Amino acid sequence: MLDLAMRGKLVEQDPNDEPASVLLEKVKAKKEQLIKEKKIKKSKPLPPITDEEKPFDIPDSWEWVRLGEVLDVRDGTHDTPKYVNSGIPLITAKNLKHGSIDFTNIKYISLKDAKKINERSKVDIEDILFAMIGTIGNPVLVTTDTDFAIKNVALLKSTHYLNMSFVCKYIQSAEYLLVKNSSGGNQKFISLKKIKEIPLVLPPIRIQNKIVEQIGKINDYIYKL
């Protein structure tokens, strides 16, 4: 299902849709505005995507982009704060399960340590988290406003004009790209630089919304079965 969706074969394409090339310019302009307002940091320019990096063909109105072109890519702490009996939950890879955050088996850190981590890694609703060490992937679209901090977890923040649920579905379908770009032996690791360079399909925004809607309908049907 996800494979068909990301190839543009799950929902019908409409030639009257605003092409993704126009959407991309809007996203880039908004990202530059956020940089000027010092809400996000400016990152190094990313290389163009080569034909060899494109794993499949997409409709003419879509674009191939890199994650770092259209999203604000960050990560949580890689240090180990002191754990306390009660305080702010610290989310790690083991807490990302089945598309959601599992708070049942959690460790806590002090409010002071959480604030320090969240100075650069504050998680908001509609952000995407996924494990970047060990079992790489397991993307989660954040839907809770519960306060927490993150460790060894990648954080993707929207720069506007994107359906983040679509982006999350894409990452779920392309976990093999994360693993392919990781390094290490038994303990795999993917760097922020490599995450920013991951190719992402960018359909027109109406198609992004339709894909998310259709995947939801199919999942509901599967659940009923």
| Amino acid found at 117 | I
Would you give the end-to-end CA distance of the chain in angstroms? Answer: 16
Q: Among 73, 72, 64, 74, which Cα is nearest to 24's? A: 64
pLDDT in tens, 9-20: 999 999 999 999
Report whether 128 contacts 44 (CB < 8 A).
Answer: no
pLDDT for res 135:
86
Q: How far apart are CA 71 and CA 128, in angstroms?
A: 10
pLDDT in tens, 102-160: 999 899 999 999 999 999 999 999 999 999 998 899 999 999 999 999 999 999 999 88
Q: How far apart are CA 45 and CA 91, in angstroms?
A: 30
Topology classification of domain 2-224: Adenine-n6-DNA-methyltransferase TaqI; Chain A, domain 2 (3.90.220)
- Do you know the residue count of the chain? 225
pLDDT in tens, 39-98: 999 989 999 999 999 999 999 999 999 999 999 999 999 999 999 999 999 999 999 999
DSSP secondary structure, 127-190, as one string:
-EEEE-BSS-EEEEE-------EEBSEEEEEE-SSS-HHHHHHHHHHTHHHHHHT-B-SSS-B-
**Parallel, antiparallel or unpaired: strands 153-158 and 199-202:** unpaired
pLDDT for res 159:
87
To the nearest whole percent, how much of the chain has pLDDT over 70? Answer: 100
**Domain-by-domain residue ranges, the chain?**
2-224
CB neighbours of residue 131 within 10 Å: 23
Q: Where are the beta strands (DSSP E) in the chain?
A: 63-66, 71-75, 83-84, 88-91, 96-97, 100-101, 107-109, 128-131, 137-141, 149-150, 153-158, 199-202
CB neighbours of residue 173 within 10 Å: 18
pLDDT in tens, 173-200: 999 899 889 998 778 899 999 999 999 9
Mean pLDDT in residue range 204-216: 97
Q: Among 91, 183, 104, which Cα is nearest to 140's? A: 91
Report whether 61 contacts 80 (CB < 8 A).
Answer: no
